[in-house]
Chains A and B, each alone.
Chain A
Amino acid sequence: MLKLFTDSDTDITPEIAGRYGYGIISMPYSIDGKEVFPYEDFEVFDAHAFYDVLRGGVLPKTAGISVEKYISYFEPEFAAGNDIMYIHFSRAMSGTFEAMDKAVSDLRQKYPDRKFYEIDTKGISILSLNILMAAGELYKAGKTAEEVMTRVETEVNKYTVYFFADDLKFFKASGRVSALAGTMGTLLGVRPIIYVGEDGKMTSIGKEKGRAKAVDRLITYARELGDDVAGHKILIAHADNMFLADMLREGLVKEFGENLDIEIIDVNPTIGSHCGPDAAGISFHSIHR
Chain B
Amino acid sequence: MNEVIDGGLFSNMINAGAANLHANRELVNDLNVFPIPDGDTGDNMYMTMDSGAGELSGSDEPGIGEAASRAAHGMLLGARGNSGVILSRIFAGIAEGLEGVNTADVATLSKAFKKGVEEAYKAVSVPVEGTILTVYREATEYADRQVSPETTLLDYFDNLVDELRRSLDRTPELLDVLKEAGVVDSGGAGFVYIAEGMRKVLTGETVESSSSHAASVKKTDLSLFTENSELEFGYCTEVLLRLQCSKTDVDAFDMPALETWLNDEGDSVVAFKDGSIIKIHVHTRTPGHVLDYCQQYGEFLTVKIENMTLQHNEHISKDSAEWVKKPHKKYGIVAVAAGDGIKEMFSSLGCDEVVDGGQSMNPSAEDFVRAFKNINADTIFVFPNNGNIILTVNQAASIYKDAEIRVIPCKTIGEGYAAVSMFDENAQDADFIENELKEIVSGVVTGIVSRASRDARRDGLNVVSGDYIGFSGDTVYIDSPDRLTAAAELCDRLDAGSCDVVLIISGKDVPGEEAERMSATLRQKYKRTEFIVIDGRQPIYDYIIVFE
Contact = CB atoms under 8 A, between A and B. Distances in A.
A209 B260 contact: no
B421 A190 contact: yes
A197 interface: no
Interface residues of A, number: 32
A179 B548 contact: no
A141 interface: no
A99 B530 contact: no
Nearest to A214: B500
B501 interface: yes
Nearest to A189: B501
Which of B260, B350, B418, B500 has the most chain A CB atoms closer than 10 A to its own CB?
A: B260
A64 interface: yes
Contacts of B423: 182
Given A64-B264, A186-B345, A188-B534, A99 B421 contact: no
A81 interface: no
Interface of B: 125, 254, 256-257, 259-261, 263-265, 267, 285-286, 289, 345, 347-350, 417-418, 421-426, 499-501, 503, 527-528, 530, 532, 534, 548
B260 A96 contact: yes
A182 B425 contact: yes
A188 B265 contact: no
Contact of B345 (A182, A188, A207): A188
Contacts of A213: 500
In the A-B complex, list the 8 residue pairs whose CB atoms are closest, starting with the nearest.
Answer: A210-B500, A185-B348, A189-B501, A63-B264, A186-B348, A95-B263, A210-B501, A183-B350
A179 B267 CA distance: 18
Nearest to A179: B426
Given A186-B345, A211-B500, A62 B424 contact: no
Given A67-B257, A188-B503, A211-B530, A61 B422 contact: no
B349 A184 contact: yes
B350 A182 contact: yes
Contacts of B259: 95, 98
A205 B417 CA distance: 21
A41 to B, nearest CB: 18
B154 to A, nearest CB: 44
Given A95-B260, A102-B256, A206 B350 contact: no
B422 A66 contact: no
Contacts of A206: 424, 426
A185 B261 CA distance: 28
Interface in A49-104: 61-64, 66-67, 94-96, 98-99, 102
7 contacts: A61-B264, A95-B125, A95-B260, A102-B256, A188-B532, A190-B422, A206-B424
Contact of B349 (A99, A175, A186, A243): A186
B480 to A, nearest CB: 27
A188 B421 contact: yes
Given A61-B286, A67-B257, A99-B256, A189 B532 contact: yes
A221 to B, nearest CB: 17
Contacts of A61: 264-265, 286
Contact of B289 (A33, A183, A210): A33
Which of A182, A188, A206, A243 has the most chain B CB atoms closer than 10 A to its own CB?
A: A188
Nearest to B261: A63
B264 A95 contact: yes
Contact of A209 (B267, B285, B501): B501
A98 B499 CA distance: 49
B256 A212 contact: no
